[in-house]
Structure 1
Amino acid sequence: MQAWREESAVNADRFHIAGRWVEPLGTERIAVYNPADLTVLGHAVMANEADADRAVAAARTAFAKWQGSSREERIALIRRMRAAFEQLAPELERHLVREIGITTMVAQGQTRMTLSHFDGMLEVLPGYAFSQAIGDGVELVREPIGVVAAITSWNAPVSQMLCKAVPAIAAGCAVVIKPSEQAPLCAMLLAEAMARADIPPGLLNILNGRGHDCGRRLAEHPDVDMVSFTGSVAGGGAMAAAAAPTIKRVHQELGGKSPNILLPDADFAEAVPKGVLICMMAAGQACAAPTRMIVPEDRFEHVAALAVAAAQKLAVGPPDQPGIAFGPLANEAQFRRVNAILEKAIADGQPLLAGGPGRPSHLATGYYIAPTIFGPVSPDAGIARDEIFGPVLCILTYRDMDEAIRIANATEYGLSAYIESADPAAARRIAGALRAGYVNINYPPWSAAAPFGGFKRSGNGKQYGVWGFEEFLETKAIVG
């Protein structure tokens, strides 16, 4: 089987549909830039609606066979996919560094997370009860939902593609993946890895394209049974609107504006620098980043000094160099957007403590922004309520815990939250009052078994573990 890189080391000129590398029907060809130095990495062809139709047709044909596959067949396939991915993971990491500007450490973290998606399904599948008796003469059956369109984001492209595709295939579904057009080369490299896994033709199709045509067509397509979308609130709304006439399931993992509440008994010398670092990782381009540090009013000056000192220690520069904390923003549109938000915040009178708009002076080119801190920020300010998706921390203050909780909940988002306290019982009581789907207490290790998903406009449905697996199942009751 000829892979896309055998034609060119950098160009993504083909799609992987029905188990073959096929020539696109779409003709738009875009340049892909390295955000660190603005050199051209290569080019990618964008799919049109006819390409989307072709991929859906392949998936529909594959689903007709795969829905009846045995548990053992699914486990064997997931194992082959995992092995193929692990073999190509180092190359994928190098591409992630060049294409979206994350450091090697973050890229390695993303591939490790991706491996956990395979491992999670290999834990779920062996003992999962697809059929069970729940009462006198009542049988509950869980069946695959059908053809799934997976539309993914650019900030963790490989992990996002497979955190949807792996549980969907494990559930008995067929998948069409449309990654973000901002990370098209990584997507085709992943397609090459999956092509080595002997996947039944049409079960996993990957094509590059834009959201407004290819993505919209997938969402509205009558032969697509479910859309799983990761991206912005606006993008999620557009996909849901396109899907609405066909009454299909729409799973959404959208934006975040995560609060980080430091209780008075927290170890501020440890908690503040850690909060700054986690906020700034991957240049702040993480939906679950703790971007609002909410601290006691009488401790603000202490917190501000600790936060600024921590930010000043973070080296910003080319992500492939040692000692770099974070690299550039992933693309020009994001660079322009974040700079505009910072300029408006300053114009609105929000106190700037560190960083600010514009490229750091020691960097001649690239989409870099210095670690930026504002505080004390008004809870009503735009930067305290809206997702920025850049290396920007807002420090807000509270007088009592009721006010801290009100501030934490005062956004349209509810993806994740963080609490720092020496009293786990007190932290858990506060966690119960937060409108967020994933609450971290004292920065625990990431758990692949914990369901991840948001409240409010951060989306609906869950990813990871058995909860992510069940998103791709329908429930049937057989009575009598």
Structure 2
Amino acid sequence: MDTITELDGELIVDRAQLIGGDWVPAAGGELIDVINPANGELIASVPRGGAEDVERAVQAAERALPGWRDTHATARAAALFRWAALVEEHADALDQIESQEVGRPHWGLSPMAGQIRFIAGQADKVQGLSLPTYQPDTLGMTLREPFGVVGAIIPWNAPGPMFVTEVASAIAAGNAIVIKPAEDAPLIGLALAKLALRAGVPAGVINVVTGLGREAGAAIPAHPRIRRVGFTGSPATGAAVMEACAKNLTPLHLELGGKSPQLVFPDADLDVAVPAMVTGITLNTGQICAAGSRVIVHRSIHAELVDRLAAQMETVSVGPWHQPVNMGPLINGRQHERVLGYIEEGKRGGAELVTGGGRPAGEDFARGFFVQPTLFDGVSPDMRIAREEIFGPVLSVIAVDDEAEAVEVANGTDYGLVASVWTQDVGVAVRMSRRIEAGQIGVNNALGSGVIGGPFGGYKKSGFGRTMGADSVLDWTQVKTVSLRGAAAPQL
């Protein structure tokens, strides 16, 4: 199947966004086309919402909030568990929707149902503390309460998992949410929201406003009655979101990408490391914030590693999402030009192009936003391809002479999201885990910790705050201190 047309009646409401439980057009009546990045063809159209639509969504969330906030936590969890069951039941259809709008081939078992279940299990574990007091007739305690109406803005690279990460955590805590998915990939979020309604999440608790970032997206952090915001995207946009939140003193979580290093030491098991590193940079066509885009290798094994990486990258098959391939296209024409521009920059900057470096040849790739898996050697840490997030399947190899230089190069960018260390030496693994500035360190794996419930977030310009961990619901709550003194005891 190469279209999602037959799924429209089941999971997609044509040309509609979700506000207050109703599927409605944009206030201005305009539409945005969602394009298949493999061939440039129209998949669907969604409303071009704006500030007026965000205001309508906030009002709907405010109406829904008291009832949902006051629903006991175990009942909220039960609704999320039902949502997870429906997501699992429709896993194939959801995968096809996201695969087509993002352009990625099938990844395997979707994490979304598991993510919702993990979060649902936290909903009735939100607890306060008993506090000591000066007087024996006084009780002291803390309460954890939802912020109220909250907002989120998510990108296009993994829109389904990001949607459930933000929405499930926020509503598990008792908030009502207004979320804007990326205009390039809004369909999976709309489908997930439809299943949440079917699971019994009340109308208005989840509101999905589709639109452009500079319109609908900008209206969320600027809204004075949105009490907390989550944003995932680029540092430049994150800074603008933070500035807008600052005007209203709105608490904010930011996840802003990375330039993740992979440190390869002389004792590394290259039979394991090489396939993992290639998968790490070609999965989702390199459009993953955690992608390991810099290989920092000890000079003694540098030549062997480059040869093996090149050979492995040349086995990566490329094609549209519905074919049994390893890698699909980039998301859109703007991103295609950007990635190809970085490849040209690498050549001009003096790096050695080992393999890839352009669009795949053939009629099958003429209309889509395809690019070859690309490997550069001879990269120096000051080159743009070694410092800036490309968000494409471009891997840079930097040779170093010792452990200290490896750490210096690894920490020598503005980012600090994920890092990988390839070694059999426990001492090296421990030292690197402590010295590398990143929110996640993977030893002998390529995309982070690979654990259930590992908090995810960054250091430096990769952002602040954490998602996905055991505190993900707590992060959507605020703390209230209560001092309770009883009336004086009657005299006998």
TM-score normalised per structure 2: 0.92
Q: Does the residue aligned with 1:212 lie in a helix, a strand or coil? A: helix
Which residue of structure 1 aligns with residue 334 of structure 2? 333
Aligned counterpart, 2:48 = 46
Change (3 A) 1:12 1:184: farther
Offset of residue 189 of structure 1? 2.1
Counterpart among 102, 122, 126 of residue 124 in structure 1:
122
CA distance in 1 between counterparts of 2:483 and 2:436 reads 40
Look up the match of 2:434.
432
1:372-383 equivalences under 5 Å are 372-383=374-385
Output the CA distance in 2 between the equivalents of 1:12 and 1:428. Answer: 52
Q: State the shift of 1:361 in Å.
A: 4.5
Aligned to 2:248: 246
CA drift of 1:395 comes to 0.6
> Per-residue displacement from partner, 1:96-116 (whole Å, max 9, x unpaired)?
221111111x2x44xx32112
Q: Which residue of 2 aligns with 1:397?
A: 399
Counterpart contact for 1:88–1:193, Cα < 8 Å: no
The 1:9/1:144 distance shift into structure 2, 3 A limit, reads: closer
The whole-number CA distance in structure 2 between the counterparts of 1:205 and 1:45 is: 13
Contact 1:343–1:357 (Cα < 8 Å) also in 2: no
| SS of residue paired to 1:200 | coil
Q: What displacement does 1:479 show? A: 3.8
Higher mean alpha-carbon deviation, 50-59 vs 40-49, is at 40-49
Conserved 8 A contact 2:11-2:194: no
Structure ID, larger Rg = 2
One-letter code of the match for 1:133? S
Which residue identity is paired with 1:115? A
Q: 2:487 maps to which residue?
A: none
CA distance in 1, matches of 2:449, 2:260: 17
The equivalent residue for 1:62 is 64
Q: Which amino acid aligns with 2:355?
A: A
RMSD, aligned α-carbons = 1.9
**Conserved in 1, the CA contact under 8 Å of 2:345 and 2:385?**
no
Cα distance in 2, alignment partners of residues 129 and 113 from structure 1: 24
2:91 partner amino acid: A
Q: Per the alignment, in what secondary structure is the counterpart of residue 326 of structure 1?
A: coil
Matched residue count: 471
Offset from partner CA, 1:377-418 (integer Å, 9 cap, x none): 100000001000001101111111111001001111111111
In the alignment, which residue of structure 2 is the partner of 1:471?
475
What amino acid is aligned across from residue 93 of structure 1 in structure 2?
D
Structure 1 residue 357: Cα displacement: 2.8
Counterpart CA distance in 1 for 2:22 and 2:460 is: 40
User: Deviations along 1:196-244, whole A, 9 cap, x unmatched?
Assistant: 1121121011121111111111111111001101111112111111111
Q: Secondary structure at the match of 1:404?
A: helix
Q: Does 1:353 align with 2:351?
A: no
For the 8 Å contact 2:209–2:216, the answer to whether it is kept is no
| Contact 2:33/2:45 (<8 A) preserved | yes
CA–CA distance in structure 2, aligned partners of residues 123 and 238 of structure 1 = 34
Amino acid at match of 2:23: W
For 2:208, which of 206, 209, 216 is the aligned residue? 206
Aligned partner (choices 62, 73, 76) of residue 75 of structure 2:
73
Task: Give CA deviations for 1:35-81 in whole Å, capped at 9, x if unaligned.
Answer: 11222212222102111100011112212222222122111111122
Letter in 1 for 2:8: R
Which residue type is aligned with residue 448 of structure 1? I
- Match of 2:15, SS? coil
The answer as to whether partners of 1:4 and 1:21 remain within 8 angstroms in 2 is no
- Counterparts in 2 of 1:364 and 1:11: CA distance versus 1, 3 Å: farther
Question: How far apart are the structure 2 equivalents of 1:11 and 1:225?
Answer: 29
Hey, what's the Cα distance between the residues in 2 that align with 1:403 and 1:196?
55
Deviates more, 1:421-430 or 1:224-233: 421-430
User: Is the Cα–Cα contact under 8 Å of residues 78 and 120 in structure 2 kept in the other structure?
Assistant: no
Q: Distance in 2 between matches of 1:180 and 1:215?
A: 9
Q: Which residue matches 1:368? A: 370
Counterpart of 2:16 in structure 1 is 14
One-letter code aligned to 1:161: F
**Superposed displacement of residue 10, structure 1:** 7.1
Residues in 1 aligned to 2:427 and 2:322: alpha-carbon distance in whole angstroms: 42
Relative to structure 1, the CA distance from residue 441 to residue 134 in structure 2 (aligned partners, 3 Å threshold; closer, same or farther) is farther
Partners of 1:117 and 1:448 within 8 A in 2: no
Helix, strand or coil at the partner of 1:131: coil
Specify which of 97, 100, 107 is matched with residue 99 of structure 2. Answer: 97
Q: CA deviation at 1:354?
A: 0.8
Contact persistence 1:4–1:192 (CA under 8 A): no
**Equivalents in 2 of 1:40, 1:452: separation in Å?**
34
Distance (whole Å) between structure 1 residues aligned to residue 17 and residue 91 of structure 2: 20
Partner of 1:344: 345
CA 1:418–1:9: 2 relative to 1, 3 Å: closer
Deviation of 1:277 after TM superposition, in Å, equals: 1.8
Task: Note the residue ranges of structure 1 that are not aligned, 5 or more in a row.
Answer: none
The answer on whether the counterparts of 1:130 and 1:143 sit within 8 Å (CA) in structure 2 is no
Q: Please state how far the C-alpha of 1:12 moved relative to its aligned partner.
A: 3.8
Mapping for residues 299-338 of structure 1, pairs under 5 Å: 299-322=301-324, 324-338=325-339
Stretch moving more, 226-235 or 194-203 = 194-203
1:9 positional shift? 9.2
Equivalent pair of 1:12/1:185 in contact (CA under 8 Å) = no
What is the rounded CA distance, in whole Å, between the counterparts of 1:72 and 1:326 in structure 2?
41
By how many angstroms is 1:177 displaced?
1.2
Cα–Cα, structure 1 residues 357 and 212, in superposed 2: closer, same or farther, change >3 Å?
same
Q: Secondary structure, in 3 states, of the residue corresponding to 1:63? A: helix
CA deviation digits over 1:220-273, x for unaligned, max 9? 111100110111111211111111110011111111110001122111233123
Structure 2 letter corresponding to 1:467: D
Match of 1:462 in 2: 466
The answer as to whether partners of 1:34 and 1:98 remain within 8 angstroms in 2 is: yes
1:196/1:292 CA distance change after superposition, 3 Å: same
Q: 1:135 aligns with which of 116, 132, 137?
A: 132
In 2: Cα distance, 1:278 partner to 1:24 partner: 38
**Correspondence 1:187-206 to 2 at 5 A:** 187-206=189-208
C-alpha displacement at 1:27, in angstroms? 2.7
AA of the residue aligned to 1:96: E
